[in-house]
Amino acid sequence: MNDHSFSKAEKEALYKAMAQRRDMRHFNSEPLDAKTLDKILYAAHLAPSVGLMQPWRFIRVKNSDLRKQLHAIVNEERMKTAEALGERKDEFCRLKVEGVLSCSDVLIAALPDKREKHIFGRRTLPEMDLASLSCAIQNMWLAARAEGIGMGWVSLFEPEALKKLFKMPKGSHPVAILCIGHVDEFYEKPMLEIEEWAKTTPLDEKVFEDYWEE
Amino acid sequence: MNDHSFSKAEKEALYKAMAQRRDMRHFNSEPLDAKTLDKILYAAHLAPSVGLMQPWRFIRVKNSDLRKQLHAIVNEERMKTAEALGERKDEFCRLKVEGVLSCSDVLIAALPDKREKHIFGRRTLPEMDLASLSCAIQNMWLAARAEGIGMGWVSLFEPEALKKLFKMPKGSHPVAILCIGHVDEFYEKPMLEIEEWAKTTPLDEKVFEDYWEE
């Protein structure tokens, strides 16, 4: 406890949002109200960014034809990923990996063009722009969970296909299809753990002292 | 409001953490207790990750000689960045851009080696590993703020120099020097805004409908 510390209840609320946040693929048909979506977007805008460049852009996909074309792009990459997975192909195909058509709202999250002018904190690590955008998306995920809303980050797509579909400029880069909407329930554990796709590993295997220990 | 929604007070606590979180460079000399640092690391481990790969590794820098060598690496990059900034060089040099020597604890956050075996969600977007690690770091930032602790993400370093210093494996990749510790006060606004290095731009300029509009 110190002067700047939040109250016990406030801390608990924050840790609860982190612990109960899930990467959702199952949505119900209830539409999301615009005010809640605005709150989620506002959370993104509170994120930190390298050199204060705020490299986040969001496209709200309202047109249903566009959404169908987006889904086709995701499905194509789903099949290519299945092939690339070799012996785990069938297992992968049984997973629900996206909710593009069933969720209430779809947002494309992307890095803008003309990022090369931002040098501060990026001279040796240009990918810090993606790091900033990812922090913004984590804020959205937590805000959505607190609002009782599910969100899923889909990265199964060919970036060039998305850029063409949404008329994005040459130097921009889409990194997420965010599926957002009401859910019947949040998964108890990460869905890929429930489906036994992958196991989580303990934190203490990931923390070293002074030198890399693996 | 829906069945899964948090209470009003819980939501407010979450948004407060997001709004008051700052990328800190000024620390005081009070040491951080181990329990609080553990909570911050635990928050990282609650993050989402692509294909559940949990690609986060943290090195706690305990040895003071190592910390000094780390600081030298940061200072070298600080000078190279200053040169690269051209006409903004002097302005940049006046900024406090890191708190490596003054903060209580330093963590190196890195991606592990052998990431190429994780294909799910990364076939066309291999950088999703960095996205996951960044979500984990955002969780740490929010947890630190709620605990009343400052954290700064320093990306002014040559990755190869860091890898050598901390004996990191060839395929790994350090992305952050995290400076963590007590602070006298949190900046009212992002420090780069206070120092007039950069201006924030409104959210509505960053949200488009159906097609990119810039």
Structural domains of chain A ordered from first start: 21-185 (3.40.109.10)
When CB atoms are compared, the residue of B13, B112, B153 closest to A10 is B13
Partners of B132 on chain A (C-beta within 8 Å) are 134
Cβ distance A121 to B80 less than 8 Å, yes or no, reads no
φ, ψ for residue B120, nearest 5 deg: -55, 115
Partners of B146 on chain A (C-beta within 8 Å) are 5-6, 10-11, 14
Partners of B155 on chain A (C-beta within 8 Å) are 50, 121-122, 124-125, 128, 131
- Can you say whether residue B114 is alpha, beta or left, with left for phi > 0 and alpha for psi between -120 and 50 degrees? left
CA atoms of A19 and A21, how far apart (whole Å): 6
Nearest chain A CA: its distance from B30 CA (Å) = 11
Q: What is the DSSP letter of B114?
A: -
Residues in chain A: 214
Q: What is the mean pLDDT of each run of 10 residues along chain B (214 residues)?
A: 93 98 98 98 98 98 98 98 97 97 98 97 98 98 98 98 98 98 98 96 97 89
Q: What is the pLDDT of residue A214?
A: 75
When CB atoms are compared, the residue of B23, B120, B203 closest to A45 is B203
Residue A6 makes CB contacts below 8 A (sequence gap 6+) with A14, B13, B16, B17, B145, B146, B147, B148
Number of helices followed by number of strands (H, E) in chain B:
7, 5
**Among B116, B167, B158, B137, which Cα is nearest to A214's?**
B167
CA atoms of B171 and B110, how far apart (whole Å): 11
Query: Torsion angle, CA of B120/B123/B125/B126, rounded to 10 degrees?
Result: 80
Q: What is the pLDDT of residue B80?
A: 98
When CB atoms are compared, the residue of A19, A57, A214 closest to B46 is A19
When CB atoms are compared, the residue of B15, B120, B132 closest to A81 is B120
In this structure, which amino acid lies at residue B38? D
Nearest chain A CA: its distance from B72 CA (Å) = 16
* Whether the complex's predicted ipTM surpasses the cut of 0.90: yes
Cβ distance B51 to A198 less than 8 Å, yes or no, reads yes
**Among B91, B155, B72, B161, which Cα is nearest to A121's?**
B155
Q: What is the DSSP letter of B110?
A: E
> Residue A137 in 3-state DSSP?
helix
Provide mean pLDDT across the span A56-83.
Answer: 98
A121-167 pLDDT, tens digit each: 999 999 999 999 999 999 999 999 999 999 999 999 999 999 999 99
Helices (H), A24-158: 34-45, 64-84, 89-93, 128-146
When CB atoms are compared, the residue of A2, A166, A199 closest to B148 is A2
Q: Tell me how far the alpha carbon of residue B59 is from its chain's centroid.
A: 14
Nearest chain A CA: its distance from B42 CA (Å) = 7
Cβ distance B43 to A18 less than 8 Å, yes or no, reads yes
Cβ distance B6 to A63 less than 8 Å, yes or no, reads no
Residue of B nearest to A205 (CA): B57
pTM above 0.90, yes or no: yes
Cβ distance A212 to B134 less than 8 Å, yes or no, reads no
A11-53 pLDDT, tens digit each: 999 999 999 999 999 999 999 999 999 999 999 999 999 999 9
B45-60 pLDDT, tens digit each: 999 999 999 999 999 9
- Per-residue exposure over B57-71, b if at least 16 CB sit within 10 Å of its own CB, e if not: bbbbbeeeebbebbb
Mutation choice for B interface testing from A139, A172, A197 by most B CBs within 10 A: A139
When CB atoms are compared, the residue of A16, A81, A183 closest to B119 is A81
Residues in chain B: 214
- Can you say whether residue B41 is alpha, beta or left, with left for phi > 0 and alpha for psi between -120 and 50 degrees? alpha
Cβ distance B57 to A207 less than 8 Å, yes or no, reads yes
Nearest chain B CA: its distance from A65 CA (Å) = 10
CB A124 within 8 A of CB A181: no
Residue B86 makes CB contacts below 8 A (sequence gap 6+) with none
Instruction: Specify which residues B108 forms β-bridges with.
Output: B59, B177
